[in-house]
């Protein structure tokens, strides 16, 4: 069963412009426009959009998603390598965010012990 772009967008909880953007980025094929009526998207294309959205939810960029799509018929080891790289990147981001959290908590602790004559956060940002 095929669907128009508006029905696809509604079903997947995305904007019509997102579908068009994926077409421009060549992540999905734009259906041929009939002489009369609207373009219709196949179930295969709808599933491909679902794949793109799920991949993005896992933190993959559109370039990485494009790579994953190209590896669809490749050995799992290639997909595994890409996923391991993404996981490593996530671990690095978590470590950075933990350092950031610790620094911000330290600044807040300084504020709580402050005499209100000056702000330790502003002081630390200026030095």
> pLDDT > 70: what percent of the chain?
100
Summarize pLDDT for 21-33 with one digit per residue, the tens.
999 999 999 999 8
User: Which residue segment(s) compose the domain that 90 sits in?
Assistant: 74-127
Check residue 74 and report its DSSP letter: S
Are 87 and 113 in a shared domain? yes
Are 78 and 28 in a shared domain? no
Are 83 and 68 in a shared domain? no
**Strand partners for 41:** 3
Are 59 and 92 in a shared domain? no
> Which one, of 75, 84, 16, lies nearest residue 49 by Cα?
16
Summarize pLDDT for 61-101 with one digit per residue, the tens.
999 999 998 887 778 888 899 899 999 999 999 999 999 99
pTM: 0.74
């Amino acid at each position: 069963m095929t669907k128009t772009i508006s029905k696809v967008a509604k079903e997947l909880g995305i904007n019509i412009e997102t579908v068009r953007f994926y077409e421009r980025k060549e992540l999905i094929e734009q259906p041929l426009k009939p002489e009369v009526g609207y373009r219709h998207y196949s179930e295969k294309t709808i599933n491909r959009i679902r794949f793109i959205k799920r991949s993005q939810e896992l933190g993959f960029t559109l370039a990485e998603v494009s790579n994953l799509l190209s590896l669809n018929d490749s050995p799992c080891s290639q997909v595994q390598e890409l996923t391991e790289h993404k996981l490593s990147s996530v671990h690095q981001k978590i470590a950075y965010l933990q350092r950031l959290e610790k620094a911000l908590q330290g600044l807040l602790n300084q504020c709580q012990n402050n005499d209100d004559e000056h702000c330790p956060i502003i002081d630390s940002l200026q030095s």
